[in-house]
Structure 1
Amino acid sequence: MIRTILIFIISTVFFSCSKEKRSDKAAEKMQDFVIAISNYARGYDPDFIVIPQNGIELCFNNIAPNDGQNSSYMSSINGIGVEELFYNGTYALDGERLSMLQQLKTSKKIMVSEFVSDNNYTSDAFLRNYNEGFICFTRSSDNYHYKQIPDSIPYENTSNITNLSLAQNHLYLISTDNYSSKQEMISAISATNFDVVLIDLFFEGTEFTLSEINQLKTKANGGQRLVISYINIGSAEKFRYYWKKGWGLHHPLWLKRKYNGYEDEFWVKFWKKDWQDIIYGNDKSYMKKILNAGFDGAYLDNVEAYYFLYYKD
């Protein structure tokens, strides 16, 4: 019996260490992936903005905050997007992530999206983030999937926002569910004074055009603003143009496993060439479509795939 227990313990420790090593190795590959995406985009537009969401550890050497910042990765990005830092429904400070962000905020814009289950928490969420020097977007239960434009804008201003460091607020609106047409959505956004607008490249499967994106680059008060495109680089989505019908039964080997909570998404082995070719590097790639549409930058979601490929989400 004792021998059986010892074997179980040794096996568990070995498996855990193996997963950690594979995850750390994958994290290095994600750093390289983000850098490559950035280099590709800036080859067309030297001022192109790159903002990875979550995966804050990628900013550091060896994925370890005590080992110093990774200069190559940091040079490739302009800001860092973060979800649920102080609030995840109710107040739930993530002290470890906050500590990392405090090291990074002097050189990168920190864009936080808080989830508040009660609108009475909104003012506190704003206060905590702005006291740290972060810009904040809050969403409640009926806006969990980023489909509504809030009624108020923190630190609303008339400034021309010519680079991300100047932004004092942002709109996170990647769902089109509340709009019956592109123009309705464009008009709704155009009537606001957000400094940064984050939207999807597509409206119900149709790409926004250069002229349509240009309409969004001026705030209602006349100030200039930035328009950023969402792109998912760590998981594949069944509703995207690149998804093939046959993948249901005979999917590519780089499609790893389902993304819990999102039935149309699958974590991917993002370092595989076939997936990276979908994302960047050629005229048919997702990033080239974003560039062609005239976006000021890209918001890279699911960069933390390096972790969730090996640990349950």
Structure 2
Amino acid sequence: MYRNINNKIFLLFSLTILLFSCSKEKRSDKAAEKMQEFVINISNYARGIDPDFIIIPQNGAELSFNNIDASEGLNSNYISAIDGVGIEALFYDEQLLPEDERLNMVKQIKTSKKVLVSDYITDNTNVADAISRNKSEGFICFPRVSNNYDYLYIPDSVIDENINEITSLQDAKNYLYLINTDSYSTKQDMINAISATNFDVVLIDMDFNEESFTSTEISQLKTKLNGAKRLVISYINVGAAENWRYYWKKKWNTVHPCWMKKKYEGYKDERWVKFWKKDWQEIIYGNDNSYIKKIINAGFDGAYLDNVEAFYFLYYKD
């Protein structure tokens, strides 16, 4: 009888775990659909002001597909709303990664949109291989070497450097990912350093140490050293709140709003958010004080949407 009771307890426990797992999966899938809608709405708002505004979500490749399933084809509404996708650690995450479902998804996306890959490479002898793998797939690559994990240095060389005029994301053959300002004492130092390069696309933060770049400064960055035009894109975190941003309220340090959820592991100043909530969405787009409007006002060519995969991390461990 004791054994039977134990068996029943074990079965009940197993069933509870199974139901909980299914519940998390359903909630995550539903949240993914809400993220698709969020990205589309951001794009519609931005392009209503600037029809050429570029939208590039980072990671969350499955959002590009119907029902968040790569076997069901590309989601036309989502694909129409974006100009490309950014993918971290596609071929390399310290070591060479095995080919997986994510790569297969990105191969489908590249048929209509630009793919920007930042591979994390700890052994510099693998940089050439990472570049080669990306180029063979038609992706543009930013090798994120061991001392540049936080995107704070400008590489010494530019992949496929050219004198072309870059007027759309599809024209780009390379990009600079420089969202950390710690390497520069002043904003002008950073502007000068970027201006001395020939990258086709420059991805930076809207702010330098909480001071926003001006439209004049962004205009300066839109010219390569060789005189040709390039694109300047602003980073924006749409899936997690950052406690140093203009929108952060002091009271949130002790009492979080209901849409602000768990800590972002590894990033102590950020918290995942219920991004579908009205209060958060109004922070991101739709009004003159919104993040996207500030990016547009500063003269950026587009926005790089980070943490779109919040739909997953709200329900699973980071």
User: Where on the TM-score scale, by shorter chain, does this alignment land: which range?
Assistant: over 0.9
Q: 1:305 is matched with which residue?
A: 310
* Aligned partners of 1:85 and 1:93 also within 8 Å: no
1:265 matches 2:270: yes
Give, in whole Å, the separation in 1 of the partners of 2:100 and 2:157: 28
Task: Provide, for residues 179-232 of structure 1, a one-character-per-residue CA deviation record: whole Å limited to 9, x for no partner.
Answer: 111111001000000000000000000110000000000100111100000000
Give, in whole Å, the separation in 2 of the partners of 1:30 and 1:225: 29
Q: 1:10 is matched with which residue?
A: 15
Residues 93-112 of structure 1: pairs in structure 2 closer than 5 A: 93-112=98-117
* Aligned partners of 1:61 and 1:68 also within 8 Å: yes
Give, in whole Å, the separation in 1 of the partners of 2:55 and 2:199: 19
TM-score between both structures, scaled by the size of structure 2: 0.98
Runs of at least 5 residues in structure 2 that lack an aligned partner in the other structure: 1-5
Give, in whole Å, the separation in 1 of the partners of 2:126 and 2:115: 20
Give, in whole Å, the separation in 2 of the partners of 1:115 and 1:173: 14
1:126 matches 2:146: no
Of the candidates 13, 29, 32, which is equivalent to residue 27 of structure 1? 32
**Aligned amino acid, residue 86 of structure 2:** G
| Superposed displacement of residue 96, structure 1 | 1.0
Please give the secondary structure, in 2, of the residue aligned with 1:264: strand
**Aligned amino acid, residue 208 of structure 1:** F
| Superposed displacement of residue 141, structure 1 | 1.9
TM-score between both structures, scaled by the size of structure 1: 0.99
Please give the secondary structure, in 2, of the residue aligned with 1:263: strand
Larger radius of gyration: 2
**Aligned amino acid, residue 87 of structure 2:** V
1:237 matches 2:242: yes
Give, in whole Å, the separation in 2 of the partners of 1:219 and 1:93: 36
Give, in whole Å, the separation in 2 of the partners of 1:220 and 1:102: 33
Runs of at least 5 residues in structure 1 that lack an aligned partner in the other structure: none
Give, in whole Å, the separation in 1 of the partners of 2:285 and 2:243: 19
Q: 1:151 is matched with which residue?
A: 156
Give, in whole Å, the separation in 2 of the partners of 1:97 and 1:223: 34
| Superposed displacement of residue 94, structure 1 | 4.6
**Aligned amino acid, residue 193 of structure 1:** N
Please give the secondary structure, in 2, of the residue aligned with 1:258: strand
**Aligned amino acid, residue 138 of structure 1:** P
Please give the secondary structure, in 2, of the residue aligned with 1:221: coil
1:161 matches 2:200: no
Q: 1:248 is matched with which residue?
A: 253
Task: Provide, for residues 31-82 of structure 1, a one-character-per-residue CA deviation record: whole Å limited to 9, x for no partner.
Answer: 0000000000001100100000000000001000111111110000000000
Please give the secondary structure, in 2, of the residue aligned with 1:219: coil
**Aligned amino acid, residue 18 of structure 1:** S
| Superposed displacement of residue 248, structure 1 | 1.9
* Aligned partners of 1:89 and 1:115 also within 8 Å: yes
Of the candidates 183, 186, 189, which is equivalent to residue 188 of structure 2? 183
| Superposed displacement of residue 93, structure 1 | 3.4
Of the candidates 200, 209, 228, which is equivalent to residue 204 of structure 1? 209
**Aligned amino acid, residue 85 of structure 2:** I
Give, in whole Å, the separation in 2 of the partners of 1:106 and 1:174: 28
Give, in whole Å, the separation in 2 of the partners of 1:102 and 1:85: 11
**Aligned amino acid, residue 186 of structure 2:** S
Identity of aligned residues (%): 65
Give, in whole Å, the separation in 2 of the partners of 1:283 and 1:162: 26
Q: 2:220 is matched with which residue?
A: 215
| Superposed displacement of residue 90, structure 1 | 1.3
Q: 1:64 is matched with which residue?
A: 69
Give, in whole Å, the separation in 1 of the partners of 2:202 and 2:40: 23
| Superposed displacement of residue 114, structure 1 | 0.7
Please give the secondary structure, in 2, of the residue aligned with 1:223: coil
Please give the secondary structure, in 2, of the residue aligned with 1:294: coil
* Aligned partners of 1:256 and 1:268 also within 8 Å: yes
**Aligned amino acid, residue 149 of structure 1:** I
Q: 1:41 is matched with which residue?
A: 46
- What is the RMSD computed on CA atoms of the aligned residues? 0.7
Give, in whole Å, the separation in 1 of the partners of 2:29 and 2:264: 20
Give, in whole Å, the separation in 1 of the partners of 2:159 and 2:97: 22
* Aligned partners of 1:81 and 1:112 also within 8 Å: yes
Q: 2:3 is matched with which residue?
A: none
Give, in whole Å, the separation in 2 of the partners of 1:70 and 1:138: 29
